[in-house]
Structure 1
Amino acid sequence: MPKDKRLIYHLNLARHAMMKHLDIGAKNALGISATQLTALMTLKKHNELLMKDLATILMLDKSAVTGLARRMQANGLIIRETHQSDARASLLTITDKGEQILSEAVGLLKAFNLQLTKDFSEQELDVVLRFLNHVTSLSTN
């Protein structure tokens, strides 16, 4: 057990390493970034979202989501339409191509989860999940 208990430091390193690994895997296997994959999963779950709501869910600022949506639209992954009742708002929906990439991503994500959880007992994983859920809940309070 490491004696260095700088949790914020280690969480930041772990998050960065995990996202870099997932990003490389997603780009190689699917041709999209990990952030684009996360956005597709979110859009699939919600059917359609306002761009500002996607920004909130992904914890990104609006300008980052604007660029993300532009790239995803250019690649045919999403449809971006002006909201009917608010011309300033954009409504995002997933395309058939985006759905196809999501179905291809299932194996990649399962393999990645297996890499993350290998050599940990169910009890250890329960503690890790409880801790991560606690950390996540701090941003919603």
Structure 2
Amino acid sequence: MVRSRPLPVDPLAEAKRQWIAHGWSDAADGMAVVTSVMRAQQLLLARVDSALKPFALSFARYEVLRLLAFSRAGRLPLSSVVARLQVHATTVTSTADRLVRDGLIVREPHPHDGRAALLALTDEGRDLVERATTALNADVFAAPGISSADAAELVAIVARLRKGAGDFTEPRPLPEPL
């Protein structure tokens, strides 16, 4: 939960001080990294949830819609959605069930694999994800709370952590700005 007033002291800095005081110096930096990233995730997710609330979307539902909207034909195999969102198939299936129920996507038979299904965006789903993206861009992504330089550094640091954890093999280079 986001506090209405800032605390007079950083509780994560205090936690690190306590870690060191209790003889866990070798783990103090790691504890500070993990808890800092987790707290930052809470803060950012609260902003995202607030921006998506008027659209009755969770971030998981938004991600599926956005991924389908980015695809050339507005449809992808369920297995591709699972791989690209890096979540368990059960989670995507459950999310897809709710999106189908709400008329935002449909399930279609895979044209080459009778065992597989395609998830396809409906016109209503496309309209909703475009409006939700406009809100997210305005309310969250355009001003994430840190400078552009800090944002680039943070993304690079987290990418190294993710790569080291086996999340991907090598990031593709970003296009140069025009």
The TM tier, using the shorter chain, reads 0.7 to 0.9
Name segments (4+ residues, structure 1) moved above 4 Å. 1-4
Q: d(CA) in 1 for partners of 2:130 and 2:123?
A: 11
Q: d(CA) in 1 for partners of 2:106 and 2:114?
A: 16
Are residues 1:50 and 2:61 paired? no
| 1:13-52 alpha-carbon deviations (Å, 9 max, x no partner) | 32244234323431x2111211111111111112321111
Are residues 1:31 and 2:56 paired? yes
- TM-score, normalised with respect to structure 1: 0.83
Q: What code does the residue aligned with 1:43 have?
A: L
Q: What code does the residue aligned with 1:58 have?
A: L
RMSD across aligned positions (CA): 2.1
Relative to structure 1, is the Cα distance of residues 136 and 41 closer, same or farther in structure 2, using a 3 angstrom cutoff? farther
Aligned length: 138
- TM-score, normalised with respect to structure 2: 0.68
Map of 1:70 onto structure 2: 97
User: Structure 1: which 5+ runs fail to align?
Assistant: none
Map of 2:168 onto structure 1: 140
Q: d(CA) in 1 for partners of 2:147 and 2:49?
A: 27
Q: d(CA) in 2 for partners of 1:76 and 1:102?
A: 13
Alignment of 1:1-141 (within 5 A): 3=13, 4=16, 5=29, 6-26=32-52, 28-46=53-71, 47-110=74-137, 111-117=139-145, 120-138=146-164, 139-141=167-169
- The higher radius of gyration belongs to 2
Relative to structure 1, is the Cα distance of residues 51 and 20 closer, same or farther in structure 2, using a 3 angstrom cutoff? farther
Q: d(CA) in 2 for partners of 1:123 and 1:107?
A: 23
User: Structure 2: which 5+ runs fail to align?
Assistant: 1-9, 17-28, 170-178
